[in-house]
């Protein structure tokens, strides 16, 4: 079977929509502990590898030399909502290396968190700025790395730029998958994204979560980034966002990250597992509920310590939809893995 | 086969996401001319039946007595973007019967067309209004009908309200499908939505497009509404919207309407056909490209009169995605039916 059912959407007691997809749970040796669909299929990890891309910023010593706090490191791993707290922090990262948003090559878009977009418009702005791009933290981190290393940041999104060569080398070490030109696509923020197998991405997460199988400098950097996102989960996403909600609850016990086109990944450090879910159709809503179901099943020792923990996860596995008058009209729920 | 492939999404030369779904093409007798998946499956038509729901407003004579123009009739069939031209017109419909937006039971949400939401915020508003609800035209039409008929509009969204009884009776006549309580769900705008078979919805569209099989008063009302939306396609959706683009191009030769959860329907009056597409996962992007492919195949006499017509449809069957810096990063294209 190429893929299976992840979630159903109900209205008026009937199934209105269905989401299929692939998912894999892998240990630190890369063994497939559980899978739905083919674990060797390729996917573009998109934003799910942002934490891996930030490892070099820490491992090189640049983060410490520049005095970047854990909030900034969390933002470097983020797909944030463009809220003011995110854009200010991205600007302050660039300030530390003498730059402004004009150095960013992510392009500008209005904050994905709509109230933030409206607030920006209410301030009289008619165009968005690059700092509001959901990837501005990652880009700011790469500019910081370049400047610390005496590399001209201009063109840092080019796959052949020294910064891309370095961070791509880290991706290869963490995932143990070659990142070849023929597997390359371009992401929404103009950075390259390399297609790799589901199993490789999940292995990367298991390693990132534990340090097992990584060179000591990468294991230490992983530990630092895990602490950073656990301390500042709001910086990784924002208001009303899944990643933030899960990490606010569980701290260092779960690392969770979304990626475009319906991807959700997680590391469960205490279980030594990495998890990847992709909705075949690209729907985030399906990936969220199904990842939660996997967190409940495979994180039962580390996440479900109390009944409240279980109820918290149950609540994220089964979301109720209310309409504009607050009337309950339907729901989405994970098919139990 | 319960459903089949509608569309693929590519990035970097690879398929990144896939959309499956059901589709059916039906003639005015209800014969299935073509189908993907089971034509007898049930779906909630959601906003795709708005034109059917507006028939009674015309057929009862209310529209003419109240002096509603074709722009207002188009808005009564709309899922609009909440742009100023839409909200003003909805307000003016209510004015004709001595009401304001407070009578509306659709609930308020910010305009779905984001620049309109930002413009509203820039004017100093911190909350949305009911007129901006994408369904406000449909609701205003029902309030107009009630007032013209001497019926108190209060509670008009209740399935047992006289207005709902009347418009539901029209739905049954047009689709030839019973609309029973056990098949009822609640829509985003609080109106009931009744699950019916794909084939019944497509039959309704074939009849709406031709008048064939309808009582004369409904056939005449259908003709009037088709002319109204063809004259005012912007009122049916808005800026950058599929429905508007297709109807701006083809006028009365194609009636097209979206519905939530990935539904797209069409009537091809000159071909005597009704078409329904639903992406299994609820994705509008898939339903749009696949409906276009069906329009090209089944509207070949009425829509594809010139090479430019063909190229126009080809363009809507294969959409290119560019990122925030204008770089082409991928595409979505219909699987040819």
Per-residue pLDDT band for B2 (boundaries 50, 70, 90) equals confident
**Residue B58 contacts by C-beta under 8 Å, 6 or more apart in sequence?**
B64, B73, B220, B221, B224, B225
- The tens digit of pLDDT for each residue in B299-315 reads 989 999 999 999 999 99
Residue from B282, B286, B321 to probe the interface with A (highest A Cβ count within 10 Å): B282
B43's CB contacts (< 8 A; 6+ apart) are A16, B22, B195, B196, B197, B198, B201, B263, B276, B278
Please name the residue of chain B whose CA is at the shortest distance from the CA of residue A193.
B12
In this prediction, residue A1 carries a pLDDT of: 57
Conformational region of residue A167, where left means phi above 0, alpha means psi within -120 to 50, and beta covers everything else: alpha
- CB contact residues (below 8 A), chain B span 202-231, against chain A: none
Q: Examine the pLDDT at B1 and tell me if it is beyond 60.
A: no
Can you tell me the distance from the alpha carbon of A191 to that of B58, in angstroms, rounded to the nearest whole number?
Answer: 54
Angle at B114 between CA A100 and CA B312, to 5 degrees: 105
Cα–Cα distance, B158 to A149 (Å, whole number): 67
Nearest CA in chain B to A45: B16
Show residues of chain A in contact with B183, CB under 8 Å: 12, 14
B154 part of contact set with chain A, CB < 8 Å:
no
* Region B225-246 average pLDDT: 98
For B187-250, what is the HEC assignment?
CCCCCEEECEEHHHHHHHHHHHHHCCCCCHHHHHHHHHHHHHHHHCHHHHCCCCCHHHHHHHHH
pTM, full prediction: 0.97
Interface predicted TM-score of the whole assembly (ipTM), two decimals = 0.96
Q: Does A124 have pLDDT greater than 90?
A: yes
Q: What would the two tokens of residue B85 be?
A: 């031209």
Alpha-carbon gap: B220 to the closest alpha carbon of chain A (Å): 33
* Length of chain A measured in residues: 337
Among B79, B117, B261, B325, the residue to mutate for chain A (most A Cβ within 10 A): B325
Tokens 């109204």 — which residue? B228
B99-125 confidence digits (pLDDT tens): 999 999 999 999 999 999 999 999 999
**CA–CA dist A332, A9 (Å, integer):** 4
Query: Helix, strand, coil: what percent of chain A each, to 5?
Result: 45, 20, 35
What region, left, alpha or beta, does residue B238 occupy, with left being phi > 0 and alpha being psi -120 to 50 degrees?
left
CA distance B202 to B214: 14
Chain A, 178 to 207: residues with Cβ < 8 Å from chain B are 183-190, 193, 195
Measure the CA dihedral A256/B14/B21/B299, to 10°: 140
B36-43 mean pLDDT: 96
| Mean pLDDT along residues B262-282 | 98
Q: Which of residues 281 through 320 in chain B touch A, CB cutoff 8 A? A: 281-283, 286
Q: What mean pLDDT do residues B45-62 have?
A: 98
Q: How far is residue A30's CA from residue A244's CA, in Å, rounded to a whole number?
A: 27
Helix, strand, or coil (residue A330)? strand
Chain B residue at shortest CA distance from A181: B12
Compute the average pLDDT of residues A200-228.
Answer: 98
Q: Percentage of chain B with pLDDT > 70?
A: 100
Q: How far apart are CA A60 and CA A69, in angstroms?
A: 15
Do B178 and B15 meet the contact criterion of CB atoms below 8 Å apart? Answer: no
Hey, is the C-beta of A60 within 8 angstroms of any chain B C-beta?
no
Counting residues of chain B whose pLDDT is more than 90, the rounded percentage is 97
Which helix (H) or strand (E) segment holds residue B184: the answer is strand B184-186
pLDDT digits (tens, 9 = 90+) for A41-91: 999 999 999 999 999 999 999 999 999 999 999 999 999 999 999 999 999
Contact B323 A122 (CB under 8 A): no
Q: Does B102 touch chain A (CB under 8 A)?
A: no
Distance from the Cα of A259 to chain B's closest Cα (Å) equals 12
Q: Answer whether A121 sits within 8 Å of B124, measured CB to CB.
A: no
DSSP A145-168: HHHHTT---TTTTSTTSHHHHHHH
B156 φ/ψ angles, rounded to the nearest 5 degrees: -65, -15
Sign of CA dihedral B175, B178, B184, B189: positive
Q: What is the DSSP letter of A232?
A: -
Nearest CA in chain B to A135: B324
Supply B327's token pair.
């770089």
Task: List chain B residues with CB under 8 Å of A187.
Answer: 323, 329
Cβ-based contacts of A106 with chain B (< 8 Å) = 324-325
CB-based contact (8 Å) between A105 and chain B? Answer: yes
**pLDDT (tens digit per residue) in A218-229:** 999 999 999 999
Where does residue A165 rank: exposed (0-12), middle (13-18), buried (19+ CB within 10 A)? exposed
Structure tokens at A163: 């910064």
**B293: part of which helix (H) or strand (E)?**
helix B284-298
- Averaged pLDDT for residues A163-192: 97
Q: Evaluate if residue B233 carries a pLDDT over 60.
A: yes
Spatial CB neighbours of B180, under 8 Å, sequence gap ≥ 6: B194
pLDDT of residue B182: 96
Backbone angles phi, psi at B184, to 5 degrees: -95, 135
Q: Can you give the pLDDT at residue B3?
A: 86
Residues 6+ apart with CB under 8 A from A129: A87, A101, A108
**Sign, CA torsion A67/A71/A74/A80:** negative
Average of per-residue pLDDT across A286-304: 96
Instruction: Give the number of A-B residue pairs with CB atoms closer than 8 Å.
Output: 160
Q: Rounded mean pLDDT of chain A?
A: 97
Residue numbers of B between 247 and 276 with CB closer than 8 Å to A: 261-262
Query: ∠ at Cα B115 (B112, B121), nearest 5°?
Result: 90
Q: What is the 3-state secondary structure (H, E, C) of A113-126?
A: CHHHHHHHHHCCCC
Q: How far is CA B77 from the centre of its chain?
A: 7
- If you average pLDDT over every residue of chain B, what do you get? 97
Distance between CA atoms of residues B277 and B295, nearest Å: 11
Q: What is the mean pLDDT of residues A178-188?
A: 96
Asked if B83 and B91 touch (Cβ cutoff 8 Å), the reply is: no
- Cα B35 to Cα B23, B26, B331: the distances in Å are 6, 9, 25
Angle between helices B136-148 and B84-96 (to 10 degrees): 10
Q: How many residues does chain B have?
A: 337
Residue B198: C-alpha distances to residues B41, B43, B129 (Å): 6, 6, 34
The alpha carbon of residue B215 and the mean position of all alpha carbons in its chain are separated, in whole angstroms, by: 22
Q: State the nearest Cα–Cα gap between B217 and chain A, in angstroms.
A: 32
């Amino acid at each position: 079977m190429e893929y299976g059912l992840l979630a159903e959407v109900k209205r008026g007691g009937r199934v209105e929509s269905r989401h299929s997809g692939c998912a894999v749970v892998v240990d630190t040796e890369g063994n497939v502990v559980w899978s739905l669909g083919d674990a060797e299929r390729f996917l573009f990890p998109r934003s799910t590898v942002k934490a891996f891309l930030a490892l070099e910023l820490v491992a090189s010593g640049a983060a410490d030399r520049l005095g970047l706090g854990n909030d900034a490191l969390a933002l470097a791993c983020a797909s944030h909502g463009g809220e003011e707290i995110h854009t200010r922090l991205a600007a302050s990262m660039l300030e530390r290396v003498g730059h402004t948003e004009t150095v960013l090559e992510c392009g500008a878009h209005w904050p994905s968190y709509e109230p933030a977009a409206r607030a920006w418009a209410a301030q009289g702005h008619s165009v968005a700025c690059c700092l509001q791009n959901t990837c501005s933290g990652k880009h700011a981190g790469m500019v910081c790395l370049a400047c610390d290393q005496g590399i001209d940041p201009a063109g840092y999104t080019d796959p052949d730029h020294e910064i891309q060569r370095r961070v791509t080398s880290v991706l290869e070490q963490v995932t143990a998958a070659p990142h070849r030109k023929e597997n390359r696509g371009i992401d929404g923020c103009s950075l390259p994204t390399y297609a790799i197998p589901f199993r490789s991405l999940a292995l990367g997460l298991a390693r990132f979560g534990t340090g097992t199988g990584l060179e000591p400098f990468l294991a230490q950097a992983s530990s630092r980034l895990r602490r950073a996102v656990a301390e500042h989960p709001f910086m990784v996403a924002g208001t009303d966002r899944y990643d933030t909600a899960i990490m606010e609850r569980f701290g260092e016990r779960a690392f969770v990250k979304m990626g475009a086109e319906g991807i959700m990944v997680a590391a469960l450090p205490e279980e030594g597992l990495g998890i990847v879910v992709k909705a075949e159709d690209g729907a985030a809503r399906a990936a969220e509920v199904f990842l939660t179901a996997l967190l409940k099943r495979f994180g039962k020792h580390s996440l479900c310590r109390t009944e409240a923990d279980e109820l918290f996860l149950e609540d994220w596995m089964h979301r109720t939809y209310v309409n504009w008058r607050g009337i309950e009209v339907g729901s989405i729920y994970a098919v139990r893995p």
